[in-house]
Amino acid sequence: MSGRLAVVGLGPGDARFLTADAQDTLRQAEAVYGYGPYLDRVPARPGQSRHASDNREELARAGAALDHAASGARVAMVSGGDPGVFAMAAAICEAIDAGPPAWRGVDLAIIPGVTAMLAVAARAGAPLGHDFCAISLSDNLKPWALIERRLAAAADAGFVIALYNPVSKARPTQLVAAFGTLGRHLPATTPVIFGRAVGREGERLAFTDLAHAGAEPADMATLIIVGSEATRIVTRPGLSPLVYTPRAAVEAGR
């Protein structure tokens, strides 16, 4: 008797970025699992159980939700942004891959959402208007040398670069190291956008360039977009600048 596990993308935070599908799924769930601060964004409903857990306990949280769903319940797991981008969907798939056969029988649905780089890009103009990539700077799960290699390859090939998980208490200096690597592959004037808590309370957007990016404050709620050599800035009197990457590419300089 297998139930359903829906992994629901909450988007950037504010309810206005929720899709109708996400709202309906949360409304119908008998149990909701998630990292505490994400769970706090979901209104409590009578008869619906809530299961908050810590940020570092992704696999344990996945297992608990899968067990609950496998028992026949309609379970929702909330995820910030889009569940498929550096979030809970991969953790759930990993758990199913390594877990008991009953978990493979769970009807798994991933409900997509607006991931942070789309929200930040929307506020800034259209920096992701041409080919781009997304890189997590967390080296909990991969060697730093690999991160550096990917940064260099992306910059050389002319991708705009979205940086997720830029800093944490355990790695306060890696973001500056990443800008150093990018600075060896891109002009110092390359536009850089810092978007903190975009789409929720405390939103802050800052525009700088690669030469000065290391001096900008950043935390785990910050998403950073580093332009390519093609990225341009349009100044507007009385309005914030527009940062965009044209649809037409010129061959990159290297």
**φ, ψ dihedrals at 94, nearest 5°:** -60, -45
The most distant pair of C-alpha atoms in the chain lies apart, rounded to whole Å, by 62
Contacts of 145 by beta carbon, 8 Å cutoff, 6+ apart: none
Looking at the Cβ atoms of 110 and 167, the one nearer to its own copies is: 110
Q: Which of residues 113-152 bind its own copies (CB under 8 A)?
A: 113-115, 118-119, 121-123, 125-136, 141-143, 145-146, 149-150
- 153 touches its own copies by CB under 8 A: yes
Residue 240 CB, nearest approach to its own copies (Å): 10
Q: Which of residues 154-193 bind its own copies (CB under 8 A)?
A: 154, 156-159
Sign of the CA dihedral running 144, 243, 130, 21: positive
- 91 touches its own copies by CB under 8 A: yes
Paired strand residues for 5 = 75, 108
Instruction: Identify the burial level of 141 via C-beta atoms within 10 angstroms of its C-beta, where 0-12 means exposed, 13-18 middle and 19 or more buried.
Output: exposed
Tokens encoding 51 = 């299961």
Of positions 1, 170, 215, 248, contacts its own copies by CB under 8 A: 248
Q: Which stretch binds its own copies (CB under 8 A): 32-40, 45-53, 101-109, 216-224?
A: 101-109
Looking at the Cβ atoms of 125 and 166, the one nearer to its own copies is: 125
Of positions 47, 202, 237, 253, contacts its own copies by CB under 8 A: 237
Residue 239, classed as helix, strand or coil, is strand
